[in-house]
Structure 1
């Protein structure tokens, strides 16, 4: 119940720009689009193995915590720290072995100056290229902290949890 009240309270603060200030509303809408775009770059960069796009989602000092999701099937990966580590680790782990598709939905954003917080649901399908019948379909709540970088936004911290999955996550990610 306390968590629900916290979410309701933050939802009321999600719209900061006064409706009669057109320039402020446009700036806020642009920020919101750019914030969601950081998560889109993360997802599509993986799905297309586009290293540059994938890297463009993260701040240099980014942190990605997949431990909550992996714990659902007994995995215990380390927290990945640093844009280069995140990009190299994930793209290398999947290269030539795993095909992914991600769908992003239900994004909720709060903006505080040059920082933002976003939650979203991401459905991620992973399948083994050599054995497409072996797959893992994951429904994951994401929590992200982002920072402004000029006109774009970058992910500084990403925490991925898991609500449900089907298939064999250990075939994709290991035990």
Structure 2
């Protein structure tokens, strides 16, 4: 196996691992893990998915703002995120990741209420040292089922 192929494979896995860190950080309520997935100046755009769920959500700018907003807005729900179909392209120290993420949200106070989303994540990443980090993520919804008010913890 050529070293170029090995490097690309290692980078490919490391790029996908960034999305795994993001998802696990949310599901485990591990703010340090979630924070590790983003650049300091990251941008998170959930507007396309939110619009399909019937509500508005602002574009979030900055790692601390993103982590704080996600931690706060999801504090009343238990979540599980499953990542599939990751497609990665890498050019030097930048990468693009397109993946499907299924996100289950269950209201803590009423576990019978849930909201399940299958979302497409469009992510731009940069290599910072030996770690890949999300610079921009846009989330659009493919399909959804359940009670969207669960996302607001109500």
SS in 2 for 1:63: strand
Give the aligned partner of residue 159 of structure 1. 138
Structure 1 ranges of 4+ moved more than 4 A:
none
Give the aligned partner of residue 69 of structure 1. 49
Give the aligned partner of residue 144 of structure 1. 123
CA RMSD of superposed structures (Å): 1.3
1:58-91 deviations in Å (ceiling 9; x for gaps): 0001000000001012211100000000001111
Work out which of the two has the higher radius of gyration on C-alpha atoms and give 1 or 2: 1
Within 1, Cα distance between the matches of 2:86 and 2:74?
A: 26
Greater share of strand residues, 1 or 2?
2
Query: Mind listing any 5+ residue stretches in structure 1 that lack a counterpart?
Result: 1-19
Give the aligned partner of residue 58 of structure 1. 38
Query: Mind listing any 5+ residue stretches in structure 2 that lack a counterpart?
Result: none
Q: If the length of structure 1 is used for normalisation, what is the TM-score? A: 0.85
Within 2, Cα distance between the matches of 1:130 and 1:52?
A: 26
SS in 1 for 2:122: strand
Equivalences for residues 109-124 of structure 1 within 5 A? 109-124=88-103
- Post-superposition shift, 1:170? 2.2
Equivalences for residues 1-175 of structure 1 within 5 A? 22-95=2-75, 97-173=76-152
